Structure 1
């Protein structure tokens, strides 16, 4: 075993320096500083180099985490980057926004032994940020160009991962996206304090420099039809994500001052880009001076509460129907929110959104809950106790998750099959939909999920599309002979 490793007994776990809540709550800059080179090396030496690496098993991408930790500890940073990027198209993004406490770090062997997990995400971020600084991240140069092309619908993480993998094989790739920028939720859904936007923009530019074409402001089903894309490309990937907000099922949910989370976050992110955002400027989607109530307990809810703090809200309260231990969001994000001044009302569910006679929002009436028997997900079901209370509110944000759009109707393709939740059905062995030559990946298949799962799905779909186009190429050669 390398002498440089197995130092978890002597070296304490350490995270990069975190800016104080007072310092960070007035801006949208990332809250963690960069690891220094020496600190990243030191923390990497804590890895126990397990024979069966649970951290790798806990990663949806099966990243070779022990290998690149060892390389980082030995100051072989370019090799560490090569290993890290071999299985992950966006390691520095995953290092920033993955809920490592629920994935790789959560099942780290030394974490289970009581010594504190290796800070995998922060080291992953350091390795790739350093690679960008050193010029090691370069445009893709395929070994040969292929005449066949792939059309990708959606420039979010699944679409971008698939585009990169296919371009590596030499295919001509065109990415279509309804937004005016690439990145999907990476740019418009996730706030800058978790993921600064230049980190995403440099990824998009690298793909453009690699020969991938992007057609923005292109909504398939309106600007161009799916049938047209199928004619123009040898294969097509649907990677649209899910953007339709789950509705709040209580009286008053449609009242003035009640907004879906993504509408609110997109306005904030656009403002930080310097875009014209009339609904922000006129105060509609701006939390400044308001009493804000966010309903939900996932990572999107945490993004909303922390954004409202930065916009200067008078108060910010998160309302969640289960307790802290049973919330779906990252515990690290909850801790960050609490530090910044967010109040959490656990075991509380909205009963009604109340307004004045003039129609102005005034409060959320909530029911106290208790936890009952486990539901299908294994978590205890929330049950009303009969007690209610009112939370004063000038703005309510619904962060209850997302549903897919009705793609068969939008695309004009009735034979595109979906499941009962509206997600696109695929053959999981090939990621192919009910339409021949049309594949799907990411949230539009699995439902709203993590970026790292979208990247995995995009890579898997790209592999299947490559096999299909190779088979097409062979068949064409045989026919020509």
Structure 2
């Protein structure tokens, strides 16, 4: 009888792939974590307790079959592990890199709760699919039957391309409309390369292209093509635009030069990483080199901005957040990485206004935490008389994102939105009030995680296939 390869968490400690030294990694935009070697991946996977109720799986938005692909990895059956991982997730190697595992699967690992340290699920997930690419196990999509029905997808971010993957597997013809010059949306331009190197995204885009998905780039719906024209051209339309309207700052001096949006800053940095020449970077407007940088916000976008500024050669980088460390929305792992790289966090601090034009400082109000708000988090309250000025040559606003007014932008009647501006759609089928029109990802649920967008895209694709099948059955009668 073969020796049981699992349940080794008592004797084998938690271990992560080697992390590059902070002094080295802050000088480039390469990913900071190395790769597991096969023996180490098998060892770490073998720590899984194979518990009867896998909380890691139930707390994953995609409900990935984590215990089973950990067991297969521990047994050296890596190709089967990849096939099982790919069955529920179109892009496991991307989620393995950027998912906040500490808040999802790993944060709910049973052995973590018992004090033995969580299984390194994200690192193993990344290892499995990176190996699959190296071994040639990742193949182009070849549907059993090609169909004539077509679907137009607006937006090529994680939700849009997850849906495209699923729809092509069902044999439907898929066209993705993207207003940027490269596909990938947030994965390409919103996330820095030190978290997600761009060749990882581009090879997935290439796989979809080789599988028959058509990408129409530099195409803005409402300008280059009308929404109604898309509905007439395709049997179904999926809205997967994401949310890109930045929340703004108020107060004296908020319109001063040198105060920029996080998305503009990150997009510019990523374009430069691709080798593009960007005027705003060359002029210094969206370049932190030699500047005192202040980033306002406490989410993952703020963490991306502070770590990018360090790599661009800022003289100092500070992050202002109005709550304390325990109440910040961003990943604790990312916060630790930022601190290692030289970022200073100023907790319980909020901007009141800005000095100078161009900006020379942020007028800061010190805060304390009061009673909990409706979400259960303690509300920040101003400490009177504790204001001060934080020197800054570049201020980056990372306060979150809101939906654009799509009905107005697209001049479309009947596309209903919620009071938050997100597209109103069924959360199971993702169908809107317009027949044959669906929505998924952040434009439906609000700014959220990549993994939720992937889930939404897959669900929407399944609902579209069901609708197309039903229409075909009626036509055949």
Q: Indicate whether the TM-score tops 0.5.
A: yes
Q: Which residue of 1 aligns with 2:458?
A: 459
**Aligned residue in 2 for 1:259:** 260
Distance in structure 2 (CA, Å) of the matches to 1:208 and 1:304? 31
**Secondary structure at the counterpart of residue 300 of structure 1:** helix
Separation in 1 of the partners of 2:397 and 2:52? 45
CA distance in 2, matches of 1:42, 1:342: 34
**1:335-391 C-alpha deviation (Å, 9 max, x unpaired):** 000000000000001000111xxx221100111111111112211111111111110
1:2 to partner: Cα distance = 6.5
Kindly provide the CA deviation profile for residues 111-145 of structure 1, in whole angstroms up to 9, marking residues without a partner as x.
00000000000000000000000000010000000
Residue 420 of structure 1: how far off its partner (Å): 1.1
- Encode CA deviations 1:213-237: one digit per residue, 9 max, x unaligned: 1101011111101100111100000
| Pair 1:397 & 2:396 matched | yes
Aligned to 2:443: 444
**Residue aligned with 1:301, SS:** helix
Match for residue 376 of structure 2?
Answer: 378
Q: How does 1:12-411 map to 2 (within 5 A)?
A: 12-355=13-356, 359-386=357-384, 387-411=386-410
Q: Which runs of 4+ in 1 moved over 6 A?
A: none
Per mean C-alpha deviation after superposition, the further-off stretch among 165-174 and 409-418 is 409-418
Counterpart of 1:164 in 2: which secondary structure?
A: helix
CA RMSD of aligned residues (A): 0.8
**TM-score, length-normalised on structure 1?**
0.98
CA distance in 1, matches of 2:285, 2:427: 43
Cα distance in 1 for partners of 2:424, 2:437 equals 11
Unpaired runs of 5+ in structure 1? none
Structure 1 residue 57: deviation in Å? Answer: 0.8
Structure 1 position 430, deviation (Å): 1.7
Deviations 1:228-269 (A, max 9, x none): 011110000000000010001222221100000000000000
**Can you list the C-alpha shifts for 1:19-46, whole angstroms capped at 9, x where unaligned?**
0000000100000001111100000000
Instruction: Note the C-alpha offset of 1:475.
Output: 1.2
Does residue 468 of structure 1 match 2:467? yes
Write out per-residue CA displacement over residues 59-82 of structure 1, whole angstroms, 9 at most, x where no aligned residue: 000000000000000000000000
> Are 2:20 and 2:33, in contact at CA under 8 Å, matched by a contact in 1?
yes
Counterpart for residue 426 of structure 1: 425
Between the two proteins, the alignment pairs up a number of residues equal to 475
**3-state SS, counterpart of residue 164 of structure 2:** helix
How far apart, CA to CA, are the structure 1 residues paired with 2:34 and 2:151? 39
Structure 2 distance, partners of 1:430, 1:87, is 17
| Distance (whole Å) between structure 2 residues aligned to residue 120 and residue 254 of structure 1 | 44
Counterpart-to-counterpart distance in 1, 2:70 and 2:403? 38
Report the CA distance between 1:414 and its aligned residue.
2.6
Which runs of 5 or more structure 2 residues have no equivalent in the other structure? none
